[in-house]
Amino acid sequence: MARSRTAFWLRYWLPVIVWIGVIAFESTDLMSAQHTGTILYSVMTALFGWISPDRFEIFHHLLRKSGHFLGYGTLAVLSFRALRASVHGGMAWLVGGALLLTSAVASLDEWHQTLIPSRTGSARDVVLDTLGGIVLLLLAVLWTRKRSGNWVIG
């Protein structure tokens, strides 16, 4: 029994916890726009030659915002999967629970960033993060439904 419970938690909840850890790491000074921009600009200019700093800033901004969208979308799908395996509830409850967890992590992450001098917290990012969760959950549910003919992700 203990082994199966451990295996269950490792299979369903460890990915959620690890992903939240990745998000927390990305919220540090090391992953601030200043640091990632410097490294990415060096890599891109080494690969492609000189790039206008203004154009690079647009690319860098879009890349970082895409990371918000996809990162929190991934968290929402992982959370939905773990909730589905853990509790018996309807689709709306499971999706709502996954989105609530995603929005809570996004809110805490942005609050945490207000405490770091090189970072800023943004309510817009919480909205973007939650939107990423909504879109990726919708795509995952629709893809799974089409594939299996029911509302199961797992």
Sign of CA dihedral 141, 143, 144, 149: positive
Q: What is the pLDDT of residues 5-63, one digit of tens each?
A: 899 999 999 999 999 999 999 999 888 888 888 999 999 999 999 999 999 999 999 99
Residue 5: per-residue pLDDT: 87
Name the pLDDT band for 151 (thresholds 50, 70, 90).
low
Sign of CA dihedral 28, 122, 70, 74: positive
Which of 26-30, 60-64, 101-105, 117-121 reaches the highest mean pLDDT? Answer: 101-105
Name the pLDDT band for 83 (thresholds 50, 70, 90).
very high
Q: Please state the three-class secondary structure of 66-93 as a single string.
A: HHHHHHHHHHHHHHHHHHHHHCCCCHHH
Residue 89: per-residue pLDDT: 79
Give the helix/strand (H/E) hosting 122: none
Residue 77: per-residue pLDDT: 97
Query: Letter for the amino acid at 92?
Result: A
Query: Letter for the amino acid at 112?
Result: H
* Full-model pTM: 0.88
